[in-house]
């Protein structure tokens, strides 16, 4: 009774409709136990938006729920099964260190997954311990909240709790569990799993569930699975364009890391680009640059083609006709992405109307930035608020020529200079989670138990377009280093 009261006080309103799918898609989980759970970080704005009660979540029972020590009422803990092309190689996967405890229904009627990441072994752990260490969980918390602040569709981080355990990686590290909020965890890899190890009816059940979960029935007519494919393509064209516009590099765009909902998911070896270089790679294992910045749109199209393959039995009774339908839909992705990207770049440059030569103007700036190793974010920031002579590229022949062309372009629209500046401010972040600032925050929190540095960073990242004086510290560039920044998946 006492636990039930805490659940009610916390505001949790749980179901698990995913568990109604055929049993092939998941395995019921028995909760593990961590010895001494304590809250490291709690996301108060997210708690409020979900209709939860922060005080109740901070109680002993609340912490037990966030650590997986207790099952809240209405929960059906499961580990989801999925597959994926990892760096092009297909393999069976699944939630190897995560547990979906259920779907929370918010006061507005929205349905979101609540998943515990780092909660222990599952049937899909492939020999791993299923645990997570504190640093990578805090890192996901920071980056996902930064993405939310930037207005990019993303999973969110509700909390990080330490477990009181030591996790063995290269050394002993403090254990932690992250509570992740997502529109759902249905991935391209989930459909690949169904197509490879299930039946056509399993694929249909998953597709029907995905349609019901993420799309309104009144928005489509005819074959609903063609609609599903086209909507997934549309969402990814929008998402990847948003990544490119802020210089975000995911690091591991495997098919199991592409959510059908169109959210950014699985923050492992990801980071934001400092110096503009399209070849930038952050993952320590991406030695061939498969997931480099410039290649992200191509990989998204490749992943979507794999998604389309899984739907072929549902697209048309005739195999050849199904392939044609899929090919036509996938062929439209590059155009959708490019239109989104160019529109976004126009906004970054304060341009309201369209002209055929805009792409030439955009590419002219980017090539100059690459040649002179200019900082991506700060170049657009300086164009937004600085005088011409204060911009880092000022004085170079290429930039002077480009700047004149840009000024002439701005004159060929009805909007005022003030309108253009406002448009630029709303589309060029003053601050991003720069790698050296993220590492600074993680070192203080994970190594020294000082969360004040992380709190300051998160505050700045929550309003990246505000151009406040307090953000100047987070806009400073890192010291020059001969070693390229690398990130790791944390497993």
Number of H helices, E strands in the chain: 19, 12
Residue 297: both structure tokens together: 């749109």
Rounded Cα distance, 311 and 211, in Å? 13
Cα within 13 Å of Cα(379), Cβ side = 24
CA atoms within 13 A on the CB side of 80: 28
Catalytic residue among 256, 266, 375, 382: 256
How far is residue 287's CA from residue 439's CA, in Å, rounded to a whole number? 22
For Cα atoms 351, 357, 361, give the angle at the middle one, nearest 5 degrees. Answer: 65
Residue pointed to by tokens 């990989």: 299
Residue 364 DSSP SS3: helix
Between CA 273 and CA 289 the distance in angstroms is: 15
SS3 of residue 83 by DSSP? strand
Q: What CA dihedral angle connects 216, 217, 218 and 223, to 10 degrees? A: 130
Phi, psi of 158 (to 5 degrees): -85, -40
CB 312 within 8 A of CB 270: no
Q: Clarify whether 256 is annotated catalytic.
A: yes
**DSSP 8-state symbol, 48:** H
Helix 188-197 to helix 200-214 angle (10° resolution) is: 160
Q: How far apart are CA 420 and CA 308, in angstroms?
A: 40
| Token pair for 219 | 């928005």
**Nearest CA-CA partner of 133 in 155, 157, 164:** 164
| In the block, residue with structure tokens 């972040």 | 429
Residues belonging to the active site:
256
């Amino acid at each position: 009774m006492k636990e039930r009261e805490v659940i009610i006080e916390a505001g949790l309103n749980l179901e698990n409709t995913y568990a109604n799918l055929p049993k092939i898609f998941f395995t019921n989980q028995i909760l593990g136990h961590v010895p001494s759970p304590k809250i490291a970080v709690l996301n108060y704005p997210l708690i409020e938006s979900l209709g939860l009660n922060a005080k109740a979540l901070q109680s002993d029972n609340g912490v037990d729920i966030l650590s997986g020590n207790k099952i809240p009422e209405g929960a059906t803990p499961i580990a989801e099964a999925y597959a994926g092309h990892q760096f092009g190689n297909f393999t069976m996967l699944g939630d190897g260190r995560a547990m979906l405890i259920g779907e929370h229904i918010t006061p507005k009627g929205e349905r979101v997954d609540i998943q515990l990441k780092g909660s222990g072994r599952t049937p899909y752990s492939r020999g791993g311990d299923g645990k997570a260490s504190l640093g990578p969980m805090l890192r996901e918390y920071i980056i996902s909240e930064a993405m939310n602040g930037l207005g990019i569709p993303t999973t969110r981080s509700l909390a990080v709790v330490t477990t009181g355990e030591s996790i063995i990686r290269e050394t002993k590290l403090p254990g932690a569990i992250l509570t992740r909020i997502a529109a759902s965890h249905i991935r391209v890899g989930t459909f690949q799993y169904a197509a490879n190890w299930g039946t056509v009816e399993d694929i249909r059940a998953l597709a029907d569930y995905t349609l019901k979960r993420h799309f309104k029935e009144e928005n489509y007519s005819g074959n609903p699975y063609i609609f599903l494919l086209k909507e997934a393509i549309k969402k990814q064209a929008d998402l990847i364009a948003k990544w490119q516009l802020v210089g975000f590099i995911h690091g591991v765009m495997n098919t199991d890391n592409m959510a059908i909902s169109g959210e950014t998911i699985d923050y492992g070896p990801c980071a934001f680009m400092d110096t503009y270089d399209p070849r930038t790679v952050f993952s320590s294992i991406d030695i061939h640059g498969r997931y480099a910045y410039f290649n992200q749109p191509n990989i998204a199209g490749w992943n979507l083609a794999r998604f389309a393959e899984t739907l072929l039995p549902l697209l048309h009774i005739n195999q050849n006709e199904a392939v044609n339908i899929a090919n036509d839909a996938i062929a439209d992705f590059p155009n959708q992405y490019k239109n989104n990207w160019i529109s976004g770049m126009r906004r970054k440059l304060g341009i309201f109307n369209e002209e055929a030569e805009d792409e030439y103007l955009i590419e002219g700036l980017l090539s100059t930035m690459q040649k002179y190793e200019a900082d991506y974010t700060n170049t657009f920031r300086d164009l937004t608020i600085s005088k011409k002579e204060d911009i880092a590229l000022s004085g170079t022949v290429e930039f002077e020529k480009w700047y004149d062309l840009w000024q002439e372009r701005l004159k060929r629209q009805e909007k005022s200079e003030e309108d253009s500046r406002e448009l630029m401010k709303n589309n060029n972040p003053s601050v991003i989670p720069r790698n050296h600032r993220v590492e600074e925050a993680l070192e203080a929190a994970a190594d020294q138990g000082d969360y004040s540095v992380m709190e300051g960073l998160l505050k700045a990242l929550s309003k990246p377009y505000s151009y406040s004086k307090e953000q100047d510290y987070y806009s400073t560039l890192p010291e020059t280093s001969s070693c390229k920044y690398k990130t790791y998946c944390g497993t």
